[in-house]
Amino acid sequence: MSEIEIPKKPLKFGLFATKPHKKWAIIAICSVIIATTIDRMSVIVLRNLTDSIATQPIVFKAVWIWAIFYPILFLLAGAFWRTSGFMGLRWFMNFRLTAYQALYEYITLHSKDYFNSRFAGALTNKMGNAVDGTESVFENLLWRFIPLIYGLILYIIFAWLSSPLLGLIILIWTIVFLSVNWYFAKKIQPKSYEYAKSLSTLKGRIVDSLSNISLVHESAFLRGEREYINKYIKKQRDKGISEWQLSEWVLLTNNILIFIFMALMIGASVYLFQKNLVSVGVVVMVIAIVGELIGQLLFIGMEIKNTTKYYGEAREGLEEILTEHIINNKPNAKDVDISNGNIEIKSIYFEYNNSKIFKDFSINIASGQKIGFVGKSGAGKTTLVSLLLRHFDVQEGEIKIDGYNISEITLESLRRAIGFVPQDTSLFHRTILENIQYSRPEAKISDVKEAAKHAQIDKFIESLPEGYNTLVGERGLKLSGGQRQRIAIARAFLKNSPILILDEATSSLDSESEHAIQTSLENLMKDKTVIAIAHRLSTLKKMDRIVIIEDGKIVEDGLPEKLLNKKNGIFKNMWEHQVKGFIIDD
């Protein structure tokens, strides 16, 4: 997990993604410059051709030379344009490879909190926008803006050589034209950004809505849900109108500017011809230049608009993805082997955006101890687990495992040491085998089967037509909650780590299956430090220490038997008010 510096600005990001493939980029750019030069020279050939025809007495040899030269230039330019295409495709496809890899790597290092507060669909979109947008900006630079600007410079030189007045007109007009377009581009850019943002929000909302569509149906709230989504649909329309409208104004302005240019250039060349200051060839050349530029510039406003749109999308995507990692390896983080699983939590302070959860909270859990955390929902039990797994960092105090401060060691060495069975097991849309194997990718199939057996899920898996190769459906939706949880338990068996954390791990199991895996859970807990957050008395009875948490504080702590005998004890009270083997919240 070495941290790579990825630039956030699209242009710098583009250079970053180009760097490893710069040979293709350099050849492509050189080809474009050569092709443009040849292309623009054709107006000179045209001038010479016209002048050779107008010369008295006419020399046909000269006429023929220029007449043959003209199509040959076209062929030659074409060859260089295609070279730029063949090289450009290698540049841009490899550019995408580097860009996607870097962004994916970066995004995977974000904390749980980052993903919790964003839609996965929107993030996927943003990654796409960042890559596609930057690529399009660079493609437009290469094939539109470099030829245009460089070509204009060549035209200025050619015109100047024929008559400084003509050169001056193109020069001044170019400056005005580009400034006006630049000004508009700057104005359009925030609008494009807003539009891109409203579009990706809309997409994210639709993904969220569709992933909860069962809930929408069950709540008979289709209409309300549509209205909710409609707000976002309308918003993206409004943003789109305001962006597009401005670009129509740009087109109109450019039309007028080009009209002025045409009138000035043609008027000036005819005037110079009348005064005998230039040849007829120059007049033809000027008409050719004007014609060529109209073709290129009429829609330049559109292209600037598109490019700024891509730029805006890329900027938005990059900013969202490249926010600072909250949880990361310290520069000199050690990769250590945790084997005992001795946990010390020393007067920690932790709050989520101003909602305080722990203040001066301490607890020691000896190696091999099996501790049951009990507390009302919202007491901070899951938060404690998140802190142990370093999904969040404590704001004060420290957590040590086997004497290592967990913020000083690598995340991998910490998480390697902890087997975690969460409340909601998430599964990949991959085979059951791959899903179980995930905790130890190098595990043999026989080990996976062994783990499944321990978790009492083997018979179910074998009953499926495709057995261990069954695909589980997106997020494992084709399995019941209990089956998913047993797959998570199988994962933990396979991982066989010194620390085991169960966060209401048996909550989705019915009493029967819970009873069935009780023995396997006991096997799983053997020789491990165990933290079990549980409501089930059957699970809690097996623990050798019970800790009751209320509002982020320990209010009772001891052996289960001891707590059960404590007069007016909280645990005793819970026990007495149990419902069907469950400790209830209130």
Give the footprint of ligand ADP on this chain (CB under 6 A): 113, 116, 352, 355, 357, 375, 377-383
- Chosen from ligand ADP, Mg ion, none, partner binding at 379 (C-beta under 5 to 8 Å by type): ligand ADP
What character string, x for contact with Mg ion (CB under 5 A) and - otherwise, covers 332-371? ----------------------------------------
Where does this chain touch Mg ion (CB under 5 A) — which range of 254-262, 342-350, 381-389, 457-465?
381-389
CA atoms of 154 and 148, how far apart (whole Å): 10
The listed partner (ligand ADP, Mg ion, none) that binds 357, CB under 5 to 8 Å by sort, is ligand ADP
CA atoms 536, 538, 541, 545: torsion sign: negative
Which of Mg ion, ligand ADP, none does 108 bind, CB closer than 5 to 8 A by kind? none
Q: How far is the CB of 422 from ligand ADP (least distance, A)?
A: 11
User: Max Cα separation, the chain?
Assistant: 126
- The residue among 377 and 519 lying less far from ligand ADP, judged by its C-beta, is 377
Residue 98 touches Mg ion, criterion: CB under 5 A: no
Q: Where are the alpha helices (DSSP H) in 212-334?
A: 213-218, 222-274, 280-297, 300-321
Q: From CA 337, how far away is CA 315, in angstroms rounded?
A: 41
With CA atoms as reference, report the closest residue to 366 among 127, 544, 169. 544
CA distance 60 to 344: 98
- Read off the amino acid at residue 96: R
**Whole-number Cα distances in Å, 282 to 51, 81, 179, 268, 271:** 8, 27, 28, 11, 12
> Among Mg ion, ligand ADP, none, what binds residue 49 when CB lies within 5 to 8 Å by partner kind?
none
Burial 54-86 (b: 16+ CB within 10 A, else e): eeeeeeeeebeebeebeeebeebbeebbebbee
Q: Which one, 436 or 502, has the nearer CB to ligand ADP?
A: 502
Closest CB 391 distance from ligand ADP, rounded Å: 9
Fill in the DSSP letter of residue 57.
S
419 binds, among Mg ion, ligand ADP, none (CB under 5 to 8 A by kind): none
Stretch that binds Mg ion, among 78-86, 382-390, 555-563, 577-585 (CB under 5 A): 382-390
Closer residue to Mg ion (CB): 38 or 543: 543
287 vs 46, 331, 524, CA distance in Å?
Answer: 10, 64, 86
Residue 116 or 276: which CB sits closer to ligand ADP? 116
Three-state DSSP at 550 gives strand
- Identify the CA nearest to 490 among candidates 535, 459, 533, 531: 459
The CA-CA-CA angle for residues 186, 189, 195, to 5°, reads 160
Cβ at position 505, least distance to ligand ADP in Å? 13
Shortest distance, position 358 Cβ to ligand ADP, whole Å: 10
Q: Is residue 382 a contact residue for Mg ion (CB under 5 A)?
A: yes
Binding segment for Mg ion (CB under 5 A), chosen from 6-14, 60-68, 285-293, 380-388, is 380-388
Q: Which does 426 bind (CB under 5 to 8 A by kind): ligand ADP, Mg ion, none?
A: none
Nearer to Mg ion, 370 or 535 (CB): 535
Q: Please state, as a whole number, how many other Cβ atoms lie within 10 Å of the Cβ of residue 516.
A: 14
The distance of Cα 29 from the centroid of its chain, to the nearest Å, equals 29
CB-wise, 377 or 573, nearer to ligand ADP? 377
Specify the residue, 84 or 508, whose C-beta has the smaller distance to ligand ADP. 508
Which CB atom, from 268 or from 379, has the smaller least distance to ligand ADP?
Answer: 379
Residue with tokens 């979109």: 125
Query: Quick one: what does residue 113 bind among Mg ion, ligand ADP, none, with the CB cut-off 5 to 8 Å set by partner type?
Result: ligand ADP
Q: Which residue is nearest to Mg ion (CB)?
A: 382
Name the site residues for Mg ion (rule: CB under 5 A): 382
